[in-house]
Amino acid sequence: MVTRVVDSRRTTATYDVGVTESVSTTSPREAYELYRRRRDEMVSLPQGNLALILTQWFTGEPGEFETVWGIPGEWAVAPESGRGLVVRATPTAGIRVNDIRVDGETTVFSKGSESPSTLSFDDGKTGFVIENEEGQFGLRIWDPSSEDRANFGKIDAYDYNPDWVITATFDPIPGGRAVGVDHLKDEGITREKIIPADISFTVRGVDYTVAAFQEGRALLLVFADATSGNETYSVGRFLLCAPNPDGTITLDFNRAYLPPCAFSYHFNCPMPPTQNRFPFAITAGEKQVLNKAGLLLH
């Protein structure tokens, strides 16, 4: 989602993909160039997409401890439902929860809880606990010294193209509509997502209606097009958007961005639903993740 407040010289832009900036600018093209630089910076942060080295889901019974490859301590689902994980370790393991060294058993509250826990290790890694739609808990670990972060060059992207700023219609669906969505690592098992409205637009005289899912206060459009697997990432791309006050919705495909799984194999991204697979080429937005030599990172 992009929110702009514009006077004759200044634009304040807030991007839900982690980019917030206030800058004097005279054109959308200049704002786009700033956005591109900030995207490279955001994915390169110590807990940016490039630093994710592990996502471990726990399917055992609460209190059933197990080890995690490459991470010290023993881990289990917390006995109290809906809390997170429990870690068991001695002080020499070098695990800290909320900056306190673990000595015995400590609960690591999930990001969705009222008081989520921070997790850090003596070797510089950090982490947190997440929860999926099925109520399972997972451990995510970030390494600022990851190979992908060290080898990252830039996000390759198209030049700004005003032709791909499209005004669409936004028709709310009372109660929403469930759509089955595949995920990259789910082996054909679909998850239901609720779409709150039909979004329709026209390209080259052909009408299209697409599905966008609620993503916080914005809507997430997961799409593929004729560039997917050729010029752009094969899995598809993401676009955040939000309805305008007049009932329309702006699809600025210049802000189409690569999903997290383009940066790390440890993300499990949604795949584009059938109605979001376009036969035409959208030559706008991000293309691929490149290494320092200008080749594909993955």
Q: How many domains are contained in the chain?
A: 2
pLDDT for res 21: 52
Structural domain includes residue 122: yes
Same domain, 224 and 97: no
For residue 70, give both structure tokens: 């490459």
Structural domain includes residue 129: yes
**pLDDT tens track of the chain, all 298 residues?**
333 332 323 333 334 465 555 545 579 999 999 999 999 999 999 999 999 999 999 999 999 999 999 999 999 999 987 789 999 999 999 999 999 999 999 999 999 899 999 999 999 999 999 998 888 999 999 999 999 999 999 999 999 999 999 999 999 999 999 988 889 888 777 888 889 999 999 999 999 999 999 888 899 999 999 999 999 999 999 999 999 999 999 999 999 999 999 999 999 999 999 999 999 999 999 999 999 999 999 8
For residue 207, give both structure tokens: 């009408």
Same domain, 202 and 249: yes
Please name the amino acid found at residue 169. Answer: T
Same domain, 175 and 256: yes
Same domain, 158 and 284: yes
Same domain, 76 and 135: yes
User: Distance between CA 266 and CA 254 in Å, rounded?
Assistant: 26
Same domain, 165 and 29: yes
Structural domain includes residue 63: yes
> What residues make up the domain containing 59?
49-143
Same domain, 255 and 125: no
Structural domain includes residue 74: yes
Structural domain includes residue 100: yes
User: Distance between CA 102 and CA 3 in Å, rounded?
Assistant: 43
Contact 159, 239 (CB under 8 A): no
Same domain, 31 and 68: no
- Alpha-carbon radius of gyration of the chain: 21
pLDDT for res 33: 95
How many Å separate Cα 101 from the centre of its chain? 30
95-97: strand order across its sheet: 52-58, 137-142, 126-131, 119-121, 95-97, 100-101
Helix ranges (DSSP H) in the chain: 28-43, 147-151
Structural domain includes residue 148: no
Structural domain includes residue 71: yes
84-89: strand order across its sheet: 66-68, 71-77, 84-89, 104-109
pLDDT for res 11: 34
Same domain, 60 and 34: no
Last residue of a domain, one of 91, 124, 143: 143
Same domain, 14 and 75: no
Structural domain includes residue 296: no
Same domain, 53 and 126: yes
Q: What is the dihedral of CA 145, 149, 153, 157, to 10 degrees?
A: -160
Cα distances (Å, whole numbers) of residue 101 to 25, 90, 106: 47, 9, 10
User: Distance between CA 42 and CA 3 in Å, rounded?
Assistant: 19
Same domain, 11 and 98: no
State phi, psi for 295 to the nearest 5 degrees.
Answer: -100, 170
